[in-house]
Amino acid sequence: MPTTMTYREAVRAALAEALRSDERVLLMGEDVGRYGGAFACSRGLLEEFGPERVRDTPLSEATFVGAGIGAALGGMRPIVEIMTCNFALLALDQIVNHAAIMRHMSGGQFSVPLVIRMASGGGRRVAAQHSNSFEGWFARLPGVTVLAPATVQDARTMLRGALREPDPVLIFEHILLYPVQGEVDEQADTDIRRAAVRRPGRDVSLITYGGSLPKTLAAAEQLAAEGIEAEVIDLRCLRPLDTELFLDSVRRTHRAVVVDEAWYTGSLAAEISALIMERAFYDLDAPVARVCSAEVPLPYAGHLEDAALPQAAAIERTVKEMMAGHG
């Protein structure tokens, strides 16, 4: 029987399952222990598993990500939590120049089975240093897997798949998803490399991931009320991309809108648009459109932040303009 829980509770249940099932697993990061995590995802785990396996770290991302890499090389299965993806930039050297390339640089002698979790995205009124979507930056990086669980079910099960990987996995959890409720099948498993069709449709493919999925589904509902059936694709895995799934959708609907909370310039949306142009150009009835964040640091003021981020109304408007302009 499915159970109902929040995204936050699903992450916590996934962490607890990992710690119980494998003594090599440990959780480390800022405030993950006594405080229970910046977003309450590890509450109660210190009491159950103790300070050896749930470790509060100093305020130094480069240090504790490096420690996670060392633990992984030494046979552990560390889960490192970085409070927000903005702070992952402080550990770029460790992630890019060490974790991601260790297998390649060692000629296959070493691997880094490390999972790094981090919150991402805007909408919480916490200003530019805490609100970015850097998933696309990391998805450019050979040697890692990049996941963006957008549903409560995926929050519950994708960590399980990530811990099976022999090389680093980065998991981006959108901050607006933590309180969202959903049904979870505890026995289900998730193929972390497969995208998912969240809503079938025939008129346009809406391709998105993470915190933009609820907005995209809301836009699709409104469009359906007006006679436009949008197919909603949840990428789930951003590296490697499940390219064939969204290309197959575009070949059937003949239109595509990519929704990405990152900035337009150099975004994952730009990469997806290029892939569609390269591999499905002659199936298109209209140019690929993108709905992304405004090219500004994310504002603190609520009305300005809302204006800067992709919203359901903008997605709906983009689709209507596409349909009206190209039949």
49-89 pLDDT per residue, tens? 999 999 999 999 999 999 999 999 999 999 999 999 999 99
Computed from CA positions of residues 181, 184, 189, 195, in that sequence, does the dihedral angle turn out positive or negative? Answer: negative
Mean pLDDT of 166-175: 98
User: Active site includes 61?
Assistant: yes
Query: What is the SS3 assignment for 147?
Result: strand
Mean pLDDT of 274-278: 98
Report d(CA 278, CA 139) in Å as an integer.
19
In the chain, what percentage of residues exceed pLDDT 70?
Answer: 99
Domains of the chain: 3-184 (3.40.50.970), 196-326 (3.40.50.920)
Exposure class string for 214-237: b at 16+ Cβ within 10 A, else e: bbbbebbebbeeeebebbbbbbbb
Q: Which residue has the higher pLDDT, 326 or 237?
A: 237
Mean pLDDT of 24-45: 97
Report d(CA 194, CA 173) in Å as an integer.
17
Average pLDDT value for the chain: 96
Return the pLDDT at 52.
96
Return the pLDDT at 326.
57
User: Active site includes 186?
Assistant: no
Q: Choose, from 130, 135, 174, 231, the residue flagged as catalytic.
A: 130
Return the pLDDT at 138.
97
Return the pLDDT at 285.
97
pLDDT at 2 over 90: no
In the chain, what percentage of residues exceed pLDDT 90?
Answer: 96
Return the pLDDT at 183.
95
pLDDT at 225 over 80: yes
Q: Choose, from 61, 135, 231, 261, the residue flagged as catalytic.
A: 61
DSSP states along 160-204: HHHTT-SS-EEEEEEGGGTT-EEEE-TT----TT--EEEE--SSE
Residue pair 169/69 in contact (Cβ under 8 Å)? The answer is: no
Residue pair 30/56 in contact (Cβ under 8 Å)? The answer is: yes
Upstream peptide bond of 240 is cis (omega within 30 degrees of 0): yes
pLDDT tens per residue, range 124-159: 999 999 999 999 999 999 999 999 999 999 999 999
Kindly indicate the confidence band of residue 187, based on its pLDDT and cuts at 50, 70 and 90: confident
For residue 288, list its beta bridge partners.
none
- pTM attached to this predicted model: 0.96
Give the HSE-up count for residue 226: Cα atoms under 13 Å, Cβ half-sphere: 13
Return the pLDDT at 325.
78
pLDDT at 327 over 70: no
pLDDT at 160 over 80: yes
Mean pLDDT of 187-194: 92
Q: Based on C-alpha coordinates, what's the Rg of the chain?
A: 20
